[in-house]
Amino acid sequence: MLEQDFAVDSATNLPNMFGLVETETKKIASFEGTAVLFDLVGLCRVNEELGISIGDHCILAAARSLEDSLPDSHSRCYRLGGDEFIVLLPDTDRAAAEVFCQEVIAQFSERCSESGLRYSITVLPEQAQSLSTLLRCAFDCFTSDSVTSDSVVPDQAAPKPEQLLERLLNLTGDSIMLIREAQESALTDPMTELPNNRAVEAAFCRYVQQYEATGDPFSVLLIDGDHLKRYNEELGYAEGNRMITRLGRLIDAQMREGDLAGRWMFGDEFLVLLKNTPRAKGALMAERIRRVICSHSNTWPIPVSVSIGVAGCPENGTDYAALIKTAEEANKTAKREGKNRVK
């Protein structure tokens, strides 16, 4: 499950390079004020000689000093990765930006004695009209007239464009992983760990597209448990949830390659898609699932059964709405006729 926004730096909770790109790319052209790039001096040396935890302390001290020194709520601070931060100060000239920088350095010195800060100031829009030119201009300043804290002489080369690119690539890789985790979470039912109704609907549409392209038939099974209310009333909702999970696992275990079982809309409802399966064979598969559930649930606190409605493509329609309606009506008929049956 996605726990950390990929546009936020997990160490400092500041927006990261992705946050900068997302928020500022279209705004920089009309931004008036100053941008200040801050760089921790000697962080590699601190990490090597004193340990990563001390280096992390320096990074966090820099972040807090920057946040605490921001002159107003319109000013924005980002961590670019590594030991660089950038601050955007609207309606601020170079002299006011210089005062801000000295305040940051004073606060940082109180928080951290193992490292120092240096900075470069860029006036916008005079010196840069885009985010890319701003970053290039800011980093180039470190090779010429950068300003450093009085107590520390810089011992670290200014980051080169290829280093920034490497960081962006690393951030991109991390973000792809987080996005994939978010997608998986968004398409997975947390209780049964089966595909949820959103994922099943998307698969359903793919099955329809496959039929339209190749004529391959498929069947839809709408499975609804018959005993959830009794579980909840007699044993409690926790046992009801456990029953739903066990029921989902039983159904999923009957799937063949290419089939899909997912949790449907409510309670103990499940939807099954059977690939290359005309309706008659789909009904046989549904009957097998019904028998397996009756047999395996004999050892459960309360044995359960299911009612199953079957629809076939193309027998009952060739689109999502028609097939779902047929399966729902068939399931209701199975319920009305006494449950524990296939219709």
Lowest mean pLDDT among 80-84, 107-111, 152-156, 224-228: 152-156
Residue 169 lies in a domain: yes
**From CA 36, how far away is CA 87, in angstroms rounded?**
5
The helix/strand/coil state of 153 is coil
pLDDT(304) > 50:
yes
**Same-domain status, 227 and 319:** yes
Residue 35, pLDDT score? 94
**Same-domain status, 176 and 202:** no
117: exposed, middle or buried (C-beta count within 10 Å: 0-12, 13-18, 19+)? buried
**pLDDT tens per residue across span 54-109:** 999 999 999 999 999 999 999 999 998 778 999 999 999 999 999 999 999 999 99
**pLDDT tens per residue across span 244-278:** 999 999 999 999 999 999 999 888 999 999 999 99
Residue 28 lies in a domain: yes
**pLDDT tens per residue across span 104-125:** 999 999 999 999 999 999 999 9
CATH number at residue 90: 3.30.70.270
Of the residues 126, 155, 180, which one is the last residue of a structural domain?
180
Residue 121 lies in a domain: yes
Residue 313 lies in a domain: yes
**Same-domain status, 211 and 311:** yes
Residue 76: both structure tokens together: 């924005």
**Same-domain status, 82 and 215:** no
Residue 312: both structure tokens together: 């076939």
Beta strand pairing call for 84-90 and 33-41: antiparallel
**Same-domain status, 276 and 225:** yes
Q: What integer is the mean pLDDT of 298-308? A: 94
**Same-domain status, 144 and 232:** no
**Angle subtended by helix axes 131-141 and 161-186, to nearest 10:** 130
**Angle subtended by helix axes 131-141 and 17-24, to nearest 10:** 130
Residue 226, pLDDT score? 92
**From CA 162, how far away is CA 239, in angstroms rounded?**
57
Of the residues 155, 180, 205, which one is the last residue of a structural domain?
180
Report the percent of the chain where pLDDT is more than 90.
Answer: 64
Residue 242 lies in a domain: yes
pLDDT(333) > 90:
yes
**From CA 188, how far away is CA 64, in angstroms rounded?**
38
DSSP class of 299? G
160: exposed, middle or buried (C-beta count within 10 Å: 0-12, 13-18, 19+)? exposed
Residue 175 lies in a domain: yes
**Same-domain status, 250 and 120:** no
Gyration radius of the chain's alpha carbons:
30
**Same-domain status, 175 and 202:** no
The total of structural domains in the chain comes to: 2
Residue 299 lies in a domain: yes
Beta strand pairing call for 269-275 and 260-263: antiparallel
Residue 109 sits in which domain range? 17-180
**Same-domain status, 122 and 27:** yes
**From CA 110, how far away is CA 114, in angstroms rounded?**
11
**Same-domain status, 173 and 26:** yes
**Same-domain status, 209 and 293:** yes
The CA-based angle 216-219-220, given to 5 degrees, is 140
Residue 149 lies in a domain: yes
Q: What integer is the mean pLDDT of 293-307? A: 93
Residue 293: both structure tokens together: 């559930």
**Same-domain status, 25 and 164:** yes
Residue 17, pLDDT score? 83
Position 74, amino acid: H
Residue 133, pLDDT score? 82
